């Protein structure tokens, strides 16, 4: 019986995580959109209030490497406290990769 419970829990955890990784737009909407906007332009109430950068800007895209984007998502911002950290228990590595691809899709 114990083995069956472990197997069921393992399958449930794997399927829940796979669903989240496949739905990056929903993840963006839940965790990022209130400040960065649906389109990455940061033209939201919070984005304007905190002077969030426009991610569609060519210069922004060039200056922010994938590793730099991943780091600020993982660790948050020391300069802008509103940008909270999303450690691995909140955003998986594959979700993090998906968010970077999503951000790159804002490019011009």
**For residue range 40-80, what is the model confidence (pLDDT) as tens digits?**
999 999 999 999 999 999 999 999 999 999 999 999 999 99
Distance CA 66, CA 30 (A): 21
Given a contact cutoff of 8 angstroms between Cβ atoms, the answer to whether 99 and 73 are in contact is: yes
Residues 6+ apart with CB under 8 A from 21: 92, 94, 95, 98
As a CATH number, domain 24-104 is: 1.10.760
Q: What is the pLDDT of residue 21?
A: 56
Output the average pLDDT for the chain: 85
Domain residue extents for the chain: 24-104
Distance CA 27, CA 99 (A): 8
Phi and psi at 23, nearest 5°, equal -115, 60
């Amino acid at each position: 019986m114990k083995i069956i419970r472990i197997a069921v829990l393992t399958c449930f955890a794997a399927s829940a995580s796979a669903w989240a990784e496949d739905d990056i737009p929903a993840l963006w909407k839940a965790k990022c959109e209130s400040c960065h906007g649906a389109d990455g332009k940061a033209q939201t109430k919070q984005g304007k209030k905190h002077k969030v950068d426009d991610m569609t800007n060519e210069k922004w895209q060039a200056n922010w490497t994938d590793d730099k984007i991943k780091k600020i998502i993982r660790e948050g911002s020391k300069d802008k406290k509103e940008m909270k950290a999303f450690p691995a228990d909140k955003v998986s590595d594959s979700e993090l990769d998906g968010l970077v691809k999503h951000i790159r899709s804002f490019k011009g």
